[in-house]
Amino acid sequence: MTAPDIPAKASDRPTFALTTPLYYVNALPHVGSAYTTIAADALGRFHRLEGKAVLTITGTDEHGQKIERTAAERGKSPQAHCDEIVAGFERLWQQLNIRYDRLSRTTDPRHHAIVQDFFKRVWDKGDIYLAQQQGWYCVACEEFKEERDITDDRCCTTHTNKPVEWRDEENYFFRLSHYQEALETLHRDRPNFVQPPSRRNEVLSFMDQGLQDFSISRVNLDWGFPFPTDPKHTIYVWFDALLGYVTALLDPDDEPTLDNALKRWWPINLHLLGKDILRFHAIYWPAMLLSAGLPLPQGLFVHGFLTQDGQKMGKSLGNVLDPFALVDRFGADAVRYYFLKEIEFGRDGDFNETRFVNILNADLANDLGNLLNRTLRMAHKYGDGTVPSGQVPPDDALMALGLGLGDRARHSYRTLAFHDACTAALELARTGNKYLDERAPWTLFKQKELAAVDAILYAVLEAVRLAAYWLAPVVPTLSGAIYRQLGFSIDFNEVEVGPPGHDQWGALPVGQALAEPQPVFRKLELEN
Ligand code: MSP
């Protein structure tokens, strides 16, 4: 495969827009929010390397009862509370080295304009009506719950320490039931719309129970956009929040109209989300878009839940893993690598500190970092400190593995199998270590087999480079450090598109001056 053709102008490139959920701002970000955002960032970076124009969208969901109550408990106005927490999100994204293009806040006045435009379409379609809403409400989920989703002590199954509340009030409803057939067709004709397949099955069985209209307004709640046709109501937080994905598409100087928002990046290529908010994204959201006459997103990818030491994380359990503390201690690359390499994206996963330290040290400090270090030393000792010119024999085992890495890693990223992309890159490094040990260039050097020494060193340096390239979406700073040691001036935190040819074996230029070897990844230590 050749390097991707890179069109001269950014506007000529194929586009890729992806989203994280818009996070509730009831508290500072937790590790679950960090997890989705890290994955989105890695995927966005991959598509950039591939030559696409990428828009990575994240944001915050700021309206509703949950936020209103939290602000009141803290003695703050809702807006002041939101601004403070949003600043915390921005800080975490910076510390985690997240490269996002948009941070969509649902309290942004431009968002209000988009919600009004969209609402009008749905209203004009006749899909909104007034009726009585009776039911159990979980404020933490901001969702009415069916009896089957309530535990014996009257909590929802997700928030087992927060009792549901009885509501009996007039609400405006959205005619979801009208879209039963259209949604069945969608999920039948586009089996990849929801990935992985286990989550699609969940959607299918939910639809089998028959779709019920859901309420999209609230009374006795001020913290939300006024309902356009009846100011005694405010718009339901989820109806407003999902549209934050659309508002995010506006360029900074665009008039905030739906038409402007939809002109370049719509439909969004991929929504990333956790399994608890599947129904909103796979059923409610497509139905809302169908009602407004808009094309649907290309798909959703649903990830699992993280536990700590095998236990559900929760404030009441006192084991909420703090992402700020984690990055402070171990650095952004380490945190990014652990969550993407150690946990298969789509499945539940666990955080365990001993495993964290062990994996990082084994993979990045030893297998990759040490390999580079020892090989660079030899390049300086046995040669003139430039990339040696040895001819790697056509049947060379390391090269054979390297030749296959591009296709395997590309496929892994495209299918969001981040763990597999990392494993493939690490396999190359691991094989490089074995290759050095077996071929023992130090002995060959003594025997004056200089051409063979050069060939071995070239192959190993190139293996490290190629592994670094394919790890760059996950550990961009480390990959940049490796590249600098190899004599490149490429910063993976800055690149807009992958340097041509670097996705394949053989891009390391013979004669390029190598840097003095320096450790690229500091070994981590356990606290106790
Ligand atoms: N505000 C809504 C989303 C609106 S999108 C238009 C929301 N926010 S949230 O902050 O509660 O959750 C955001 C994401 O974090 C969800 O995708 C959720 O699955 C994820 N996680 C929350 N706890 C988690 C873990 N313990 N592990 C992994 N992800 C988890 O829902």
CA angle 144–145–149, rounded 5-degree value: 165
The model's pLDDT over 238-250, given as tens digits with 9 standing for 90+, comes to: 999 999 999 999 9
The model's pLDDT over 413-423, given as tens digits with 9 standing for 90+, comes to: 999 999 999 99
22 lines ligand 1 (CB under 6 A): yes
The structure tokens 């890729």 sit at: 16
The model's pLDDT over 27-42, given as tens digits with 9 standing for 90+, comes to: 999 998 999 999 999 9
Report whether pLDDT(479) > 90: yes
Q: What is the DSSP string of 380-447?
A: HHHSSSB-------TT-HHHHHHHHHHHHHHHHHHTT-HHHHHHHHHHHHHHHHHHHHHH-HHHHHHT
The model's pLDDT over 114-125, given as tens digits with 9 standing for 90+, comes to: 999 999 999 999
pLDDT value at residue 2:
35
Q: How far is the centre of ligand 1, averaged over its atoms, from the C-alpha of 480 (Å)?
A: 31
* High-pLDDT (> 70) share of the chain, %: 97
Q: How far is the centre of ligand 1, averaged over its atoms, from the C-alpha of 379 (Å)?
A: 49
Q: pLDDT band at residue 1, thresholds of 50, 70 and 90? A: very low
64 lines ligand 1 (CB under 6 A): no
350 lines ligand 1 (CB under 6 A): no
CA angle 265–95–414, rounded 5-degree value: 40
User: Contact 283/207 with Cβ under 8 angstroms?
Assistant: yes
Q: Which domains does the chain have, with CATH numbers?
A: 332-485 (1.10.730.10)
Q: pLDDT band at residue 451, thresholds of 50, 70 and 90? A: very high
Helix (H, G, I), strand (E, B) or coil at 311: strand
Q: How far is the centre of ligand 1, averaged over its atoms, from the C-alpha of 381 (Å)?
A: 52
Average pLDDT of every residue of the chain? 95
Q: How far is the centre of ligand 1, averaged over its atoms, from the C-alpha of 417 (Å)?
A: 20
35 lines ligand 1 (CB under 6 A): yes
455 lines ligand 1 (CB under 6 A): no
Q: How far is the centre of ligand 1, averaged over its atoms, from the C-alpha of 4 (Å)?
A: 35
- CA dist 511 and 495 (Å) reads 24
Report whether pLDDT(11) > 90: no
Cβ-based neighbours of 59, under 8 Å, separated by 6 or more: 20, 22, 23, 102, 103, 104, 105, 106, 244, 248
The model's pLDDT over 171-195, given as tens digits with 9 standing for 90+, comes to: 999 999 999 999 999 999 999 999 9
29 lines ligand 1 (CB under 6 A): no
475 lines ligand 1 (CB under 6 A): no
Report whether pLDDT(3) > 90: no
pLDDT value at residue 526:
87
* High-pLDDT (> 90) share of the chain, %: 91
Task: Supply the residue whose CA is at minimum distance from atom 19 of ligand 1.
Answer: 274
| Number of alpha helices (DSSP H) and beta strands (DSSP E) in the chain | 20, 15
Q: What are phi and psi of 486, to 5 degrees?
A: -85, 0
Report whether pLDDT(471) > 50: yes
61 lines ligand 1 (CB under 6 A): yes
Distances from the Cα of 448 to the Cα of 267, 369, 390, 444, 456, angstroms: 62, 28, 14, 6, 14
Which residues on adjacent β-strands are paired with residue 143? Answer: 138
- The answer to which of 117-121, 136-140, 310-314, 346-350 has the lowest mean pLDDT is 310-314
Average pLDDT over residues 223-241: 97
User: Contact 207/184 with Cβ under 8 angstroms?
Assistant: yes
339 lines ligand 1 (CB under 6 A): no
The model's pLDDT over 331-384, given as tens digits with 9 standing for 90+, comes to: 999 999 999 999 999 999 999 999 999 999 999 999 999 999 999 999 999 999
- CA dist 524 and 528 (Å) reads 12
Average pLDDT over residues 472-489: 98
Number of residues in the chain: 528
- Region for 111 from its dihedrals, namely left if φ exceeds 0, alpha if ψ lies in -120 to 50, beta otherwise: alpha
Q: pLDDT band at residue 9, thresholds of 50, 70 and 90? A: low
Q: How far is the centre of ligand 1, averaged over its atoms, from the C-alpha of 504 (Å)?
A: 37
User: Contact 250/261 with Cβ under 8 angstroms?
Assistant: yes
32 lines ligand 1 (CB under 6 A): yes
Distances from the Cα of 41 to the Cα of 57, 85, 94, 323, angstroms: 9, 21, 12, 16
